[in-house]
Amino acid sequence: IIVPPKEAIIMDEYGQHLHGMIGPYNEGFPLALACEGEGGDPSPAVRWWRDAELLDDSYYITPQGFARNELLLSSLRRTDLLTKLTCQVSNSNLTEPVTSSVIIDMNLKPTDVRITSMYRPISVERFTEIVCVASGARPPAQISWWLDGEKLTSRITESTVRDENLTVSSLLFGPTKHDNQRNLSCRGDNPQVPDSVLEDTWILDIHFPPQLSVKVDKESAIQEGDSINMTCVVQANPPIVELEWLKDSQSLGPTSKKSTRSRILHISNVTSEHKGRYQCVATNSEGKSVSEPVLLKVQYVPRCVSVRSSIYGVGQTESVSVACEVDASPSTVSFTWALDGAKILSTEQYSSNGSHSVATISPRSPKDYGLLMCWASNAVGRQREPCTFRIIPAGPPEEPRNCLISNRTTHCLVLECEMGHDGGLTQLFQLEIFGTDSDKFLSNVTAHSAPKFTVCSLPSRESLVLIVYSLNNKGRSKQITMHVSSTESNEAEEEDSGALEALVGVLIGALAVLILLAATVTLLVCLQRKKRSKKGRAYPDEEKSDPQLSKECKEPCVASSYGPDIIPEKSFYRERSSSLINVIEVEQGINPSSAQSDPSSRKYREYDAFSYPEGPGIHATPKKLSMLQTEEESKETDLQSIVETPLISSIHPTLHQWPNSKKETTIRMSTPV
């Protein structure tokens, strides 16, 4: 009788029963499993299968009577992930075998770690994003950033995609110039799997402006005559394209390409003129930089500083102080004084303070005059050329020379001369001016620093005598006499000035006359208006005016209550025309029988008795008939006597024969077209 086995039991190396998903087991590590068959008669066979592949069919019977098969996978591979292993137990082909299965879960190493950002130079102190991606790890890898073995912990962001076993890390990197040529690494690993680290590395190319310094090849004191080299030490990426040297912030000129490469400034035969602050300036694509200044000190023997005076005039009973000042490096100096190169002055005859010394000279005999010399010495050596001063007996100064009048106007002049020797003493310059015509003393001017004189308030059109001389405590020089006569140009200038003043006076007078005339005309107009107003009140029919006769006054005119009647137009014009003819006929002795019945003829008869005032007036009728006293008075007063009449063609020609009893008046007839 065949008894089938009851169960297939899978165990790990520690005897733990396994089923379903087992692990995770690390990639590359061994895996040991055992399977035992329980029960069955005869004893069953135990086999291991991977899917349909037979892995192991060797088994043995344990002392407890179980059939056992031990499976050993020496190194798990990535392909073993989620592999199904089946243990099969059977003792007959007549019955179904008993099976048990497990699925392998694994921890995988990352297969790739790579910086995906494009490799390029990075400018110093400018933040740049760098991205790294790790793939293939299970679970997804962890990424870390390293700079020359030092882990970076700031400005890092990380994300994962589990389905694809991807990890993405981003680093915001702000380098310094010291990071140039350092290694930046991205590391990806699975912490569960030992030795699973992969990394990608950049050698950083950091661009930065030039970093400069100046080095002098000679450390000891530099003296005149030495030769030195100054080197501009440059740290720059990319390399510099331009180099320039400065001395006391002033450019020493453009440098050649060879000098740009060597970066050396060579100075041969150094002099005191080379002392100062030196800098180098370099430029690359990142910018322009200037080094810190280096002070170049040059030691040299003393030399004279320019003096105020080199000639001193001294009397035999007088004393004079002579100052000697030198320039030296180092500035600690000692002085020696000598007269005519042989007579050395004692230390009691002079005093010293730093680079300044003062000697007191008191001549008592002719031997005490001559050439006074001053030497100074320092650590470098003795002064090569002494400072020299001439001590001479004091006397009057020399007269001024080459005197010239540089500017002359009607009332002023400017005189300039060259000074002569001052006689060893401080001198003054004197100018005296006399008038030749009046024989009077006009002016006296003193100049202190130079013989230059400016004199004004001089009489015009008068010749002058100028006397110039110098003087000091010992007396005065010979005098220089100059004669200056009046010129036609000065007279013309004065005449032009008088003509201009006369023209201004004429213009002011004309303006005053115009203002007075305007005031007079305004007064006359006002008086005329008052007369016209009084005359208007004498009209007998002023209150009988017909309403039909009122007419809007569109032009400047007299108010209707004081002026003559305003006669309307329309057909009434023709009636007025015939009435006017009748009135004129009456004036000429014609019997106007028909005119007596016309009511309008009364108004025109009033003109027969109308007497014109002395001034012109304004009278309105249907059309305008201008009556002006004279053409000149019209222009001066701008006043008219206006009579509005019918059309000119309807006025009788006898109108020109106005009665002689009235004031003779010029009549202008004006009718609109």
> What is the predicted pLDDT for the residue at 604?
34
With bands split at pLDDT 50, 70 and 90, how would you rate the model's confidence at 59? Answer: very high
Lowest mean pLDDT among 354-368, 429-443, 659-673: 659-673
Domains delineated in the chain: 7-107 (2.60.40.10), 112-204 (2.60.40.10), 222-296 (2.60.40.10), 300-393 (2.60.40.10), 401-485 (2.60.40.10)
Exposure string for 651-669, b = 16+ CB within 10 A, e = fewer: bbeebeebeeeeeeeeeee
Q: What is the mean pLDDT of the chain?
A: 78
Residue 567 near residue 622, CB atoms below 8 Å: yes
The answer to whether residue 71 scores a pLDDT higher than 70 is yes
pLDDT, average across residues 427-441: 85
The pairing of beta strand 31-38 with beta strand 67-73: antiparallel
Residue 65 is classified by DSSP as S
Q: Is the peptide bond before 330 cis (omega within 30 degrees of 0)?
A: yes
pLDDT, average across residues 165-171: 93
With bands split at pLDDT 50, 70 and 90, how would you rate the model's confidence at 438? Answer: low
The predicted-structure confidence for 241-263, as pLDDT tens digits, reads as follows: 999 999 999 998 877 665 566 78
The answer to whether residue 55 scores a pLDDT higher than 60 is yes
> What is the predicted pLDDT for the residue at 135?
94
Residue 104 near residue 31, CB atoms below 8 Å: yes
> What is the predicted pLDDT for the residue at 463?
85
The predicted-structure confidence for 285-299, as pLDDT tens digits, reads as follows: 999 999 999 999 999
Residue (of 612, 661, 662) closest to 640 by Cα position: 612
| Two structure tokens written together for 312 | 């001193």
| Two structure tokens written together for 339 | 């007269």
The predicted-structure confidence for 395-430, as pLDDT tens digits, reads as follows: 888 999 999 988 888 788 899 999 988 877 788 999
The answer to whether residue 560 scores a pLDDT higher than 50 is no
The answer to whether residue 492 scores a pLDDT higher than 70 is no
In this structure, how many other beta carbons lie within 10 angstroms of the beta carbon of residue 580? 23
How many angstroms from the chain centroid is the CA of residue 476? 60
Sheet bearing 298-304, strands edge to edge:
222-223, 298-304, 320-329, 356-361, 350-353
Which is more confident, 309 or 565? 309
Distance, CA of 575 to CA of 599 (rounded, Å): 10
The answer to whether residue 472 scores a pLDDT higher than 60 is yes
Lowest mean pLDDT among 86-95, 256-265, 604-613: 604-613
What phi and psi values does residue 422 have, to the nearest 5 degrees? -85, 5
Distance, CA of 460 to CA of 487 (rounded, Å): 10
Give the chain's largest Cα–Cα span: 191
> What is the predicted pLDDT for the residue at 606?
36
> What is the predicted pLDDT for the residue at 257?
62
The predicted-structure confidence for 268-283, as pLDDT tens digits, reads as follows: 999 989 999 999 999 9
pLDDT, average across residues 317-331: 90
With bands split at pLDDT 50, 70 and 90, how would you rate the model's confidence at 324? Answer: very high
